[in-house]
Amino acid sequence: MNTINQAMLRQSRGVDRIIEGVATSDGAGVKLTRVLTGKLHQRLDPFLMLDAFGSDNPDDYIAGFPDHPHRGFETITYMLSGRMRHRDHAGHEGLLKHGDVQWMTAGRGIIHSEIPEQKDGVMEGVQLWLNLAANRKMAEPWYRDIASHEIPEYVTIENVTVRVIAGSSNGVAGAVTREDTEPMYLDIHLPAGASFSTAVPATHNAFIYVYRGAVKVGVTLVESHRMAILSNTTDADGVTLTATEDARLIMIAGKPLNEPIVQYGPFVMNTQEEIHQAMDDFRNGRFI
Ligand code: CO
């Protein structure tokens, strides 16, 4: 692992809004916090949803997410703790463990299940939904399980550890790249008092979600289990944050698609007609 010097920024983005998230349940009763919802689709284009789950009570997660469909976007599941097995209708299957990522392109349609493979202990993770460009929504489904050791990592001179899941940061290329949406997905671990900077294109929408401790972005404190939407400032070339205590967070940025977004549950398309088609295809077994 390399120790690197981080970006010297001309100007950092600040915080536009803090989002608390809404407690809800999904699948067969899994308790989770929906941090990014439909209301933020335009503001955080190309990101559609962020769910955070974390509990040491098996009743909160044990039933998992039995068979359900997706069409028109990508799901990125990052396991922070615990084990989750996924299976899809095409026969693909994999086990996600602590630190692993599953990157799934639903494209024209996938039916899968996501079921905890543990009966007790802590289950913690986040699932992000990333939109697909109109001309990619009906692409062939694709997925990749990325084992924890395959995720590029670097450490700064301030002892900040950064895992680069997607895009690139401070010259380190991540595990996944995407042309249309250029997502950057970082998991950042900071000791108390340390600062971290990375470049983010001014054209991209960006946010952080703090899952341990707290950080400051400019003058704004972002506490644990809060999302901060970063301001879109033409002159800002990145973001700098400082840990007020030991902290862990994910930082996500992407290039907006600027296309119409129509969502009905697990289907996200560009028009109402395409949603009706998705429902019809699903009911009539055309996802298989
Ligand atoms: Co799913």
Domains and CATH numbers, the chain: 3-283 (2.60.120.10)
Determine the pLDDT at residue 1.
59
Determine the pLDDT at residue 64.
92
Q: Could you list the mean pLDDT of each consecutive 10-residue stretch along the chain, which spans 288 residues?
A: 79 96 90 92 97 92 93 97 93 94 96 91 95 97 96 96 98 96 98 97 97 97 97 96 98 98 97 97 90
Determine the pLDDT at residue 223.
97
* Centre of ligand 1 from the C-alpha of residue 7, in Å: 36
* Centre of ligand 1 from the C-alpha of residue 240, in Å: 33
* Centre of ligand 1 from the C-alpha of residue 35, in Å: 17
> CB 166: neighbour CB atoms within 10 A?
27
Which DSSP state fits 51? E
Q: Which residues contact 48 (CB under 8 A, 6 or more apart)?
A: 36, 38, 41, 73, 129, 130, 131, 261, 263, 268
Determine the pLDDT at residue 2.
64
* Centre of ligand 1 from the C-alpha of residue 251, in Å: 22
* Centre of ligand 1 from the C-alpha of residue 276, in Å: 20
* Centre of ligand 1 from the C-alpha of residue 212, in Å: 25
Our measurement of the distance from residue 125's CA atom to the centroid of its chain's CA atoms, rounded to an integer in Å, reads: 10
* Centre of ligand 1 from the C-alpha of residue 67, in Å: 8
Cis peptide before 46 (omega within 30 of 0): yes
* Centre of ligand 1 from the C-alpha of residue 171, in Å: 32
Place of tokens 């809800």: 24
Q: Is the pTM here over 0.85, yes or no?
A: yes
* Centre of ligand 1 from the C-alpha of residue 165, in Å: 19
